[in-house]
Amino acid sequence: MGTDEFLNSMGSGDRRRSGPRGRWLPVRLAVLISIGMLLPAVFLGRIQYTGTAGEHAALEIAGSVVGLMAGLMLLLRFLAMGNRIHLLIGVAFLINAAEDMAHGLMSHPLIESQFGLGDSSLQRYIPMTYVVGRIMLGLILLVAPRVARSMGRSCHTRSEAIRVTSVALGASLLLTVLMSKVPLPPMMYPDLVISRPVDLISAVILVAAFVQYVKEYAYAHEKLIWWVMLSIGIAASGQVIMSFSKNLYDIWFDVAHLYKFIGYSSIVIGFAVFQIAESKELQHARSSLTQAREEAEAANRAKSAFLANMSHEIRTPMTAILGYAELLTEASEGPDSETRRIEAAQTIKRNGEHLLTVINDILDISKIEANMLSVEHLETEVVPVLEQVVSLLKVRAEGKGLVLEIVFETPIPERIICDPVRLRQIVLNLAGNAIKFTDRGSVLIMCSMTEVGGLPYINIRVKDTGIGMSEEVLERLFKPFSQADDSTTRNYGGSGLGLEISKRLAQMLDGDVTVQSKLGEGSTFTLSLPTGGIKGVAMVSSIVSDPDPDSKEVAKAKTPAADKPLAGMRILLAEDGPDNQKLISFHLKRAGAEVTIANDGVQAIKAINAALREGTDFSIVLMDMQMPNLDGYQATTRLRKRGYSTPIVALTAHTMATDRQKCLDAGCDEHLGKPIDAKQMIACCLDFCQETGFSSAA
């Protein structure tokens, strides 16, 4: 075990850091060490050794100095933390060390001869200092955990430390004096196996205290307590060995005093290890806090920059929309007035679409952050999705003189298990970004198959010849609210959310988005997705479908009559917004439908009841879900409970998968998100009318 590992394992005390097994391993180690300290007793009796009074006194004085250090360290810990168990343990060691110091000084030959203690009445105090010190050490250590836990933490550590230490030292001194004046049995019985019973009694008290600290360590899991526990175990072993001493200064006697020194030292060593480890933890915590603060500040700066950018991204198209809308309201004359009107309408549409993209990005990242965005796993035809992306971006690419095409590096499955909407969104984001940051050359959508862990994956690589990115930019590329730098926003615009959204969506589909880039040489973004089961699925390696996927929907919207595809259809539009009423009914009427408008769910039900009484039911109901008085959910539920079977299509600005499912659960047949796409709405109406057997007028 290295130094750092040792410090971490025996250092500062995180409560309940490890599991039950990990918590008991140190206890077993302390027990083994304590028992191991008894092993010398097997052969000590065979050693012929007799020490001297000077050696004994030196051991006592050295041990007492270390003991005083241990006690003071624990008192300092109490002053810092207020935990009373540190106070009581510290006082116990201070008392024992003070008694040992007195014992060592009075028994030292030099001092004894210098002050004539040998013939003095003070001589009788020497054994009592030893006995009182060991007994009080054991008793205070025994009760300390229970007393400390019942009293809790101290709020006045300094005054309490002075009071408790003074009282304990005074009691120790008084007890020493009293015991010296009372006739007591001899301390040593050389003819018995246990020749010093008082030391065995002290050992029993220390063993009982050891058990208490095992419980305390299991409860608090404070590593300093482990070192106290070890010190108590060593002290108990020393007292057991001392109980076999037949004569002063024999081998048993001196080994027991050596154990006392080791026991004191273990507290000092443990405290040092504890403090070093705690300092390392504090340093690590300080570094973590500094890093967290810096990251939070960076995130705040990024969000502030993002909000400023969003203000620009929203206000800029709004300026164009409102400005050109105002121009359309003004009378215009001249030969080019119609051209200007069309240009104004196109500008409004283009800026509205850009504004919608920005809003969708903000909503998507908000849903992702709130874990409210869901994906579906459906059979998805990959090539048509890619073709649709190319169709949507083709005009932008051609406007910059770029080549935009799909390249098959290897055959790919015709169908995979994926979410077609999210697949389109990811590839559209990646390809749109590539076009945005490429001024000349090409943007290639490259398809291939690979295996990851034995499972088939499809890779869709979007490779451009654009400006590329540096390593610094790559590090923060997929972080929300971030772009390469402020100049990126100024030069290219955008919310800075697209790549983060794409990566998170890919991860929700069990895949990922990665990037390779070199500044000035272009970038390659790789979307890697599992295909799901592809056994028996045909492989494709070229474009085989309609080059313009939107043409199918357009064609559907134009049949059976090119100008009036909804001719002969009666449609109920339940919508509370006057502007939306006008816009939607305009598109429907222009497509040939007869439109009835209801302002809320109550009016919608009344209109349906009236139509049923007259025998002229509606062909389809377009139901806004959020209306006053009676919303679309309640209105649809009531109609379905009555057996009303006419198709009901939900119109709502809530576009999440859960929102769509909520509409279907209420009884709707389909869900169209706002803002409404006129072609999609007309195609949807045609689909349901064909399913119900309605045939529009040719």
Q: Which residues contact 287 (CB under 8 A, 6 or more apart)?
A: none
List helix spans (H) across 400-444: 420-436
- Given a cut of 70, the residues of the chain with pLDDT beneath it are 1-23, 111-123, 305-306, 308-309, 312, 331-335, 479-496, 544-562, 657, 691-698
Collapsing DSSP to helix, strand or coil, 568 comes out as: coil
Please tell me what DSSP assigns to residue 677. Answer: P
* Residue 635 CB partners (closer than 8 Å, separation 6+): 574, 601, 602, 604, 605, 623, 627
Query: What pLDDT is recorded for position 474?
Result: 83
Q: How far apart are CA 516 and CA 499, in angstroms?
A: 14
Q: How far apart are the first and last CA of the chain?
A: 88
Superfamily of domain 552-691: Response regulator (3.40.50.2300)
Burial 390-422, CB ≥16 within 10 A → b, else e: bbebbeebeeeebebebebeeebbbbbbbbbeb
Give the C-alpha distances (Å, rounded to integers) separating 495 from 313, 319, 472: 7, 18, 20
Which pair of structure tokens corresponds to residue 210? Answer: 């050891």
Q: What is the DSSP letter of 415?
A: E
3-class DSSP string for 506-562: HHHCCCEEEEEEECCCEEEEEEEEECCCCCCCCEECCCCCCCCCHHHHHHHHHCCCC
Per domain, the residue ranges of the chain are 3-281, 318-369, 378-548, 552-691
Helix 578-590 × helix 678-691 angle, to 10°? 60
pLDDT at 307: 72
d(CA 642, CA 665): 16
Q: Which residues of 454-473 are buried (b: 16+ CB within 10 A; e: fewer)?
A: eebbbbbbbbbbbbbbeeeb
Q: Do domains 3-281 and 378-548 have the same CATH topology?
A: no
Secondary structure letter of residue 294 according to DSSP = H
Q: What is the pTM of this model?
A: 0.50
Per-residue buried b or exposed e for 494-511, using 16+ beta carbons within 10 Å of the residue's own CB: bbbbbbbbbbbbbeebbb
Place of tokens 């001196």: 254
The C-alpha atoms of residue 532 and residue 510 are separated, in whole angstroms, by: 10
pLDDT of residue 237: 93
CA distances for 484 relative to 297, 400, 432, 487, angstroms: 18, 22, 16, 8
Residue pair 686/559 in contact by the 8 Å Cβ criterion: yes
pLDDT at 222: 81
Q: Are 100 and 274 in contact (CB under 8 A)?
A: no
Cis preceding linkage at 109, omega within 30: no
Write 307-313 long-range contacts (CB < 8 A, 24+): 309/483, 309/489, 309/495, 309/496, 310/358, 310/362, 310/495, 312/489, 313/354, 313/358, 313/493, 313/494, 313/495
Q: Convert 299-321 to b/e letters by CB count within 10 Å (16 or more is b).
A: eeebeebbeebbeebbeebeebb
What is residue 332's predicted lDDT score, i.e. its pLDDT?
66
In this structure, which amino acid lies at residue 43?
Answer: F
- 477: helix, coil or strand? coil
Instruction: In whole angstroms, give the CA distance from residue 398 to residue 227.
Output: 76
CATH topology of domain 3-281: Rhopdopsin 7-helix transmembrane proteins (1.20.1070)
DSSP 667: T
d(CA 522, CA 230): 65
Distance CA 71, CA 366 (A): 57
| CATH domain 378-548 topology | Heat Shock Protein 90 (3.30.565)
Q: Count Cβ atoms within 10 A of the Cβ of residue 385 and give its class: 0-12 exposed, 13-18 middle, 19 or more buried.
A: buried
**How many Å apart are CA 238 and CA 501, to the nearest integer?**
68
Q: What are phi and psi of 52, to 5 degrees?
A: -125, 165
